[in-house]
Structure 1
């Protein structure tokens, strides 16, 4: 196992139990209200060292989410290897890192425009749909992209959402997965301290 570089280690939560619970509740809120812009900063501790250490590297929302969700039993895939992020997850969450996308419980995608095909990740299976991957995808903006109409559980009628930076093929690949329900992939799009949840139950109209 690679050694953790303690000289560059980013601090974790001030209160690991309660802060993780706050972030977890915020993530549940994001996925139960698809398309809603959630400032996850409100669920984070006042940890300036954590914020400063991640500045310009990884969106704070992505790091906090992974820190709250990952543990020793959930392999994490990082698309563009980042030693600072990897060391922090290994040290604070005891999360194993994997280079096998199919084995990942969680994945962090740093470049939305060049993200891998959704077929590269686990979709779960009918007996264990929860064994699918959850993706955290860094995007340039959560509001300035092409407006697409979302509908489904957690949305009263429809909601128009404009996630920027995603390739068109992402939406078509995701639509193809709808035939596999209850299997599929859940996504969170992250920018800075905010995120938007897109669970597998949400339908997105794509031309």
Structure 2
């Protein structure tokens, strides 16, 4: 049996979309995001909410090995009808359940000069959005600087993010989630160690 998605699909997906826009427009700011009550493990509620909100039949999804399970695949197919693909460069959305084993950011599509919006959006599910190495964020949507210390990212992540931001307007955008919060990292956000 496939678990249900949103209790009120129209209202809940609109609310989730507004929260995702808020997270991207205010990088580094935690935004609460309630997801479906029982998404298939190991998918957490916020990760499921983002997938259900952004994915549709015209939005190819790539799943990392942690999420590439039969229950997750069936759930996403049933609720979004999004094609699930094997090539991360061809994905509009990449769902990452084990961020510690995240492929390099250059494995995903950075967009094209004429169409930078065709880049891959990554959604990384982390053990926690606090308690990791601290970094300072700056850029559009941040008044001065913002601090962020997510736990569970690979050691190379922030250097790769620095390179991603240097490619602007190309590059990937990322949402970081735990079991109740989402934080947006648009490609225009710069990072440095404090």
User: TM-score of the superposition, structure 2-length normalised?
Assistant: 0.94
Structure that is richer in helix per residue: 1
Instruction: Give matches, 1:132-171, under 5 Å.
Output: 132-171=119-158
Residue 34 of structure 1 corresponds to which residue in structure 2? Answer: 27
Which residue number corresponds to residue 174 of structure 2? 187
Q: Which runs of 5+ in 1 are unaligned?
A: 1-6, 45-49
The 10-residue stretch of structure 1 (81-90 or 184-193) with the greater mean CA deviation from structure 2: 81-90
Unaligned runs of 5+ in 2: none
Cα distance in 2, alignment partners of residues 202 and 53 from structure 1: 31
Hey, what does 1:22 align to over in structure 2? 15
Structure 2 contact 136–147 (Cα < 8 Å) conserved: yes
What's the CA shift for 1:51? 1.7
Q: Which residue of 1 aligns with 2:86?
A: 99
C-alpha distance in 1 between matches for 2:119 and 2:79: 23
Q: Alignment partner of 1:61: what SS? A: helix
Aligned to 1:10: 3
- Count of residues paired in the alignment: 192
Q: 2:111 aligns with which of 124, 129, 139?
A: 124
User: Is structure 2 residue 104 aligned with structure 1 residue 111?
Assistant: no
- Superimposed CA distance per residue, residues 90-136 of structure 1 (whole angstroms, 9 cap, x where no aligned partner): 11111111111011100111111111011110000110000000001
Which residue, out of 142, 157, 163, partners 1:176? 163
* CA deviation string 1:38-88 (max 9, x = no partner): 1102xx5xxxxx42343x521110100110000101101110212222212
d(CA) in 1 for partners of 2:70, 2:176: 22
**Between Structure 1 and Structure 2, whose CA radius of gyration is higher?**
1
Distance in 1 between the 2:33 and 2:106 partners? Answer: 29
C-alpha separation in 1, matches of 2:192 and 2:164: 14
